[in-house]
């Protein structure tokens, strides 16, 4: 069956065995907390990568209703989905322009490119120009106009709404933060723009000096805590859950899963859970990981498979097929347990979760 064909039976899709609960109230409160930490600055929202894996359709309306007016995506292909919820002129595309087609698409859909180089500035001006944003690289050496080129006549021709730069080490106490702040101050004096923006989530916690006119939180909106100062104000947003699809009794000497990496030392009851690395539950969770049921901790046994993991049911003997387990996803703790970054934990979540 081709991907765009639906079964003709008229039968609704069955409920499924993976859920991703999104606490949109926590999401809105996180945005408001970050917004007020920025003092008089407005707060936007980074919603790239499908709102960090949580789903544009759930995240963007909640952020919009909380008051966000500036949305950042990385790719042009992300604009359309966000623009179903907010006016396209409130969307900035961080990767900017690579081809004249990008410029034509930008004009047609009326989302703004973030111009990152003289090449991009020329593409935009050749396409007729119009309001854009401009990223200047103040030290991350990744994307953005080098400081040595800010005086170029092409830049003077741009009609700039947001002038931005991005911090490399805002989640650390690094001298690079202060250096980027002072360089950005110089950039702001040299380049006229309607609004100035430097801070991501962690940058907001560095203090009001970093907030300028507009902040660009991402991770912390979705429950990430990149700096300790944010721990008290940021609440968990994403709550993955997976169902048990089989239970069994095994005995001493029986092994579990691929390569028999766990062997039982005595009789035990185990549960096979519908969650695997294809869903973003990567093998790095390994032997230290556990799922939860109420207060009961259910340690992982053996290797993570593509679609399944196996847990020890000793601490919750009443559990049976169809019961739901919580995947521990408080991001700072989950990052420590899995070795993944808080960003990775969110963005690897797969497409088989339902609401």
Question: CB under 6 A: which stretch of 181-189, 194-202, 284-292, 330-338 binds ligand PLP?
Answer: 194-202
Question: For residues 293 and 286, what is the distance between their CA atoms, to the nearest angstrom?
Answer: 19
Rounded to a whole number of angstroms, the CA Rg of the chain reads 24
Is 200 a binding residue for ligand PLP by CB under 6 A? The answer is yes
Is 180 a binding residue for ligand PLP by CB under 6 A? The answer is no
Asked about 329 being catalytic, the answer comes back as no
Is 34 a binding residue for ligand PLP by CB under 6 A? The answer is no
Min dist CB 40 to ligand PLP, Å, is 19
Is 68 a binding residue for ligand PLP by CB under 6 A? The answer is no
Catalytic residue among 13, 21, 107, 258: 258
- Note whether 114 and 164 are within 8 A (CB): yes
Nearer to ligand PLP, 112 or 216 (CB): 216
Nearer to ligand PLP, 236 or 274 (CB): 236
Question: For residues 198 and 180, what is the distance between their CA atoms, to the nearest angstrom?
Answer: 9
302, 245, 321, 319 alpha-carbon torsion, rounded to 10°: 30
Query: CA end-to-end span of the chain, whole Å?
Result: 25
- Sign of the alpha-carbon torsion through 339, 25, 210, 130: positive
Nearest to 97 by CA among 72, 45, 132, 46: 132
Nearer to ligand PLP, 200 or 241 (CB): 200
The single residue among 85, 95, 112, 166 that binds ligand PLP, judged by CB under 6 A, is: 166
Is 196 a binding residue for ligand PLP by CB under 6 A? The answer is no
Min dist CB 46 to ligand PLP, Å, is 4
Q: For 58-75, give one letter per residue: b (16+ CB within 10 A) or e.
A: bbbebbbebebebbbbbe
The single residue among 38, 217, 271, 332 that binds ligand PLP, judged by CB under 6 A, is: 217
Question: For residues 305 and 17, what is the distance between their CA atoms, to the nearest angstrom?
Answer: 16
Is 223 a binding residue for ligand PLP by CB under 6 A? The answer is no
Asked about 208 being catalytic, the answer comes back as no
Question: For residues 113 and 95, what is the distance between their CA atoms, to the nearest angstrom?
Answer: 8
Nearer to ligand PLP, 167 or 282 (CB): 167
Nearer to ligand PLP, 17 or 50 (CB): 50
Task: Please list the active-site residues.
Answer: 48, 258
**Interface residues toward ligand PLP, by CB under 6 A:** 46, 48, 94, 166, 200-202, 216-220
């Amino acid at each position: 069956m081709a991907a765009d064909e639906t079964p003709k039976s008229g039968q609704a899709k069955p409920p499924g065995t993976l859920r991703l609960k999104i606490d949109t109230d926590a999401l809105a409160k996180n945005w408001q907390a970050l917004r007020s930490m920025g003092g008089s600055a407005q707060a936007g929202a980074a919603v790239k990568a499908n709102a960090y894996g949580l789903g544009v359709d759930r995240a963007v309306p909640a952020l919009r209703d909380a008051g966000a007016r500036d949305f950042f995506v990385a790719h042009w292909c992300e604009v359309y989905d966000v623009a179903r919820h907010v006016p396209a002129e409130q969307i900035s595309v961080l990767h900017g322009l690579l081809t004249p087609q990008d410029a034509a698409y930008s004009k047609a859909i009326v989302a703004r490119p973030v111009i990152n180089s003289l090449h991009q500035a020329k593409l935009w001006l050749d396409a007729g120009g119009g309001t854009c944003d401009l990223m200047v690289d103040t030290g991350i050496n990744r994307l953005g106009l080098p400081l040595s080129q800010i005086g170029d006549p092409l830049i003077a021709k741009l009609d700039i709404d947001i002038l931005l730069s991005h911090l490399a080490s805002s989640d650390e106490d690094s001298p690079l933060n202060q250096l980027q702040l002072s360089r950005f101050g110089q950039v702001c004096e040299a380049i006229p723009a309607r609004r100035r923006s430097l801070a991501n989530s962690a940058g907001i916690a560095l203090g009001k000096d970093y907030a300028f006119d507009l902040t660009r939180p991402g991770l912390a909106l979705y429950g990430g805590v990149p700096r300790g100062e944010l721990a008290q104000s940021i609440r968990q947003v994403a709550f993955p859950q997976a169902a048990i699809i089989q239970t069994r009794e095994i005995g001493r000497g029986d092994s579990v899963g691929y390569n028999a990496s766990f062997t039982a030392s005595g009789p035990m009851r185990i549960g096979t859970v519908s969650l695997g690395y294809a869903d973003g539950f990567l093998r790095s969770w390994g032997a230290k990981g556990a799922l939860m049921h109420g207060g009961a901790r259910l340690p992982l046994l053996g290797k993570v498979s593509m679609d399944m993991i196996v847990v020890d049911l000793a601490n919750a003997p009443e559990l049976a097929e169809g019961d739901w387990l919580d995947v521990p996803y408080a991001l700072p703790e989950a990052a420590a347990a899995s070795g993944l970054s808080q960003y990775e934990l969110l963005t690897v979540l797969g497409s088989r979760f339902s609401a």
